[in-house]
Amino acid sequence: MEAALGGAYTIERELGGGGMSRVYVAHDRLLARKVVVKLLHPELSAAVDTERFLREILLAAGLQHPCIVPLLSAGESDGRPYLTMPLVVGESLRERVTRDGPLPVPDVVRILRDVASALSHAHERGVVHRDIKPENVLLSGGFALITDFGVAKAVTAAADHREHHPGLTSLGMAIGTPAYMAPEQVVADAGCDHRVDIYAFGLVGYELLAGAHPFAGRSSQAMFAAQILELPPGISTVRPDTPVELAGLISRCLAKEPADRPQSAMLLLLSALEVLILSTSTRTVSRMTDPAAGGAVALETPPPTGALQRSSALEGTTRRTTAKSRSTGRVRSPRKPKPIDSLAILPFVNTSGNAENDFLSDGITESIINKLSRIPELRVVPRSVVFRYKGANVDPQAAARAMQVRAFVTGRLFHRGDALIVKAEMADALTESQLWGEQYHRPFADIFAVQEDIADEISRCLLVRLTSEEQQRIRRRETQNSAAYQSYLKGRYHWNKRTIEPLRQADRCFQAAIDEDPSYAIAYSGLADTYNVLGYYSAERPHTAFPRGRAAASRALEIDPQLAEAHASLGFVRLFYDRDWDGAGRAFEQAIALNPTYATAHQWQAWYLFIVGRVEEAISAFQRALELDPLSLIINDHYAYGLAVAGRWDDALEQCARTAELSPEYPLVQWRLGEILLSLGRYAEAVTAYRRCVDGTDGAVGLGHLGQALGRVGRSDEARAHLTRLHEVAASRYLSPLDFALTYAGLNDGD
């Protein structure tokens, strides 16, 4: 054999053999170093085309990564292919688990982080391992290194075009190890791709935590059946101290269907990093045994640094994309994507373990939507539509197709203390390929930069050419104060619920944002919207609420005259309180000119157009608002009443039904329905609708209308009893005189 190696190596001893090769330690005479020589078994060598094997292994030879044992050379000895690689001083993961049993969680996470980083690097370059197992993961110098990269793939590729040879089935290792084979490998699916490594990654993680393989002790045939049919016990039941995030990651990796697993090793890496940060909020030191050092080696996890702020992989590769070829099963960089003209930003998932941070994940989602909506060539699905998928167990690609967009963005957010991790990725809804992915690991104060960076990267990836003005709009910051921004997001989170108590919470949050940053224009606009809605529903005295709304909107415009939301807020006050029709019309026109995609401005403009008698234009304005925000409950609700004002009664009733279908629990649609039914003389039905509204809003909306309907339907005693209720309510909170007037009108009591 030494002669076949050209005299460059001296064989010193045999280390043993695995399923595919015999392994020797040799001395590299030229460079005076120890190397490993792996010689394929004779049976396997006879079953493969050596020339093709050597061509295939060249792919693996190009891998350069700190967690991959590199390939030094390859050749042929007496018809048997061989490989050389450095001798790694350390132990295999198999030896570590055999000796120690279940490993400490921090060690498991760090090992998985290294393995995921190596897989990500290889998959991006079209190299799939196909035989990830503890024997092929080596521990040395505090790192986990994957060895034998590309060997199993090269063997199967070199054998694909040969006639069936018993060597392949007798060894059984050419396509992987039964205990770590994905279901698609077991059935020899020609479409096997990089996700077989992700499945094996999950099994390795499970074994490190449990100390044993989930299907240990079974024959090869029984193991094959288990891989296809059985789900292992949840790792948390076997190892109760497993972090929830880590248990979830392993469970997803072990999905039987490839499409249900994480779709890239990058996601594995990001998840491992997230678990690592969750479990080590300060600098921590974990002990990992390194036999070469004669004991334990300290693995230190440093605090976030600039080098990790935007890491796509540990080797520093950024903005790489991954696409799979169904014909070869390889991962390769996609061709330059065609311009995409429609996009959905799905609600970012809060992974902080604290529901109180939902406002933050929701706020980042909404902020990115708002920034990208300013790009004229791009249709961005509005907030009300995408947020219907919040918390739903739905396939993002299916959601994207339902929304009829070409691409979609998903993301996850972790926030604890000053640590902020946001990871986002964009995928093509048609091809399933990832277009972009990134992780941002920043202090919380950098949350603005993260949102800007995500919007920038998405626009670049979509090949959208932005003018300098559009770039400024995307990168525009309303505040530099992260505490103010956090309060503002909480305010919008509560305001979007549009019920009385959340509106009062929104008031407090917006005011807190202004206290933190008195120059925060959009916080004043949010405060104006809150006062305006409270006044509109008479939840507060209109003579108190609306002037406050006007003052807040005016202050916002003093700070930023180009703020569309503030112009719309001011128009609302002029329309519903001042009765300044011309002033309201100008304000709405200005808001729409500044931000044509602001659906609320179109909605409020529609009411102005109705009031001044421009009915057809009003209907068109409502329709434009619905085009921009088709699932907005409040816009759908108001459109129904607008149709009624236009005399289109049947259309109005149908619109009420559509709104109710969007959200059966939404109480305000019952208010609109009651008004329409009352106008049509269908008093009994109006009573039912109004009562649902009153019950659904805890009496905040519709009390007077219910009394009116009771009187009109002839239930005078109930109507008079209702008057008593109104007086009781008025004794504890503000109640509009209109509520009393409507009830008396229903009783035909003009006095």
Run of H or E including 411: strand 407-416
Strand pairing class (342-345; 407-416): parallel
Q: Which CATH class is domain 342-475?
A: alpha beta
CATH number of 666-750: 1.25.40
Buried b (16+ CB within 10 A) or exposed e, 376-413: eebbbbbbbbbbbbeeeeeebbebbeebebbbbbbbbb
Ranges of beta strands (E only) in 318-358 are 323-324, 331-332, 342-345, 349-350
Q: Is the pTM of this model over 0.75?
A: no
Reported for 504-510, long-range contacts at CB under 8 A and 24+ positions apart, including other chains, are: 504/534, 506/530, 507/531, 507/534
- Transcribe 19-46 into DSSP letters: SSEEEEEEEETTTTEEEEEEEE-HHHHH
Residue with tokens 């890496």: 269
DSSP 261: S
The pLDDT of residue 333: 39
Nearest CA to 590 among 563, 609, 614, 613? 563
Q: Which residues pair with 343 in a beta bridge?
A: 380, 407
Q: Is 135 exposed, middle or buried (0-12, 13-18, 19+ CB in 10 A)?
A: middle
Compute the distance between CA of residue 522 and CA of residue 509 in angstroms, rounded to an integer: 13
Residue 15, SS3 per DSSP: strand
Compute the distance between CA of residue 613 and CA of residue 620 in angstroms, rounded to an integer: 13
Residue with tokens 């993002």: 396
Looking at the chain, the domain(s) classified CATH 1.10.510.10 span 91-161+174-279
Q: What is the CA radius of gyration of the chain?
A: 33
Question: Quick one: 9-86 is in which CATH superfamily?
Answer: Phosphorylase Kinase; domain 1 (3.30.200.20)
Provide the residue type at 564 as one letter: A
Compute the distance between CA of residue 167 and CA of residue 404 in angstroms, rounded to an integer: 51
Residue ranges of the chain whose pLDDT lies below 70: 1-7, 16-19, 43-45, 47-48, 150, 153, 156-176, 271-339, 352-356, 392-394, 463-477, 750-751
Compute the distance between CA of residue 436 and CA of residue 457 in angstroms, rounded to an integer: 8
> In which region does residue 632 sit, left (phi positive, over 0), alpha (psi from -120 to 50) or beta (all else)?
beta
Sequence-distant (≥ 6) Cβ neighbours of residue 545 within 8 angstroms = 531, 532, 534, 535, 539
- Dihedral, CA atoms, 412, 418, 419, 425, nearest 10 degrees? 30
Run of H or E including 413: strand 407-416
Ranges of beta strands (E only) in 429-511 are 434-443
Nearest CA to 713 among 670, 667, 748? 748
The pLDDT of residue 751: 59
Pair 637, 659: CB distance under 8 Å: yes
Compute the distance between CA of residue 454 and CA of residue 451 in angstroms, rounded to an integer: 5
Q: Which residues pair with 37 in a beta bridge?
A: 24, 84
The pLDDT of residue 324: 33
pLDDT in tens, 403-456: 888 899 998 888 777 778 888 888 888 877 778 888 788 887 778 778 878 887
Looking at the chain, the domain(s) classified CATH 1.25.40 span 666-750
Compute the distance between CA of residue 503 and CA of residue 645 in angstroms, rounded to an integer: 28
Sequence-distant (≥ 6) Cβ neighbours of residue 517 within 8 angstroms = 479, 480, 481, 484, 523
Provide the residue type at 686 as one letter: A
Q: Which residues are catalytic?
A: 131
CATH number of 91-161+174-279: 1.10.510.10
Nearest CA to 350 among 415, 409, 395? 415
Nearest CA to 431 among 319, 325, 320? 325
pLDDT in tens, 538-558: 888 999 999 999 999 999 999
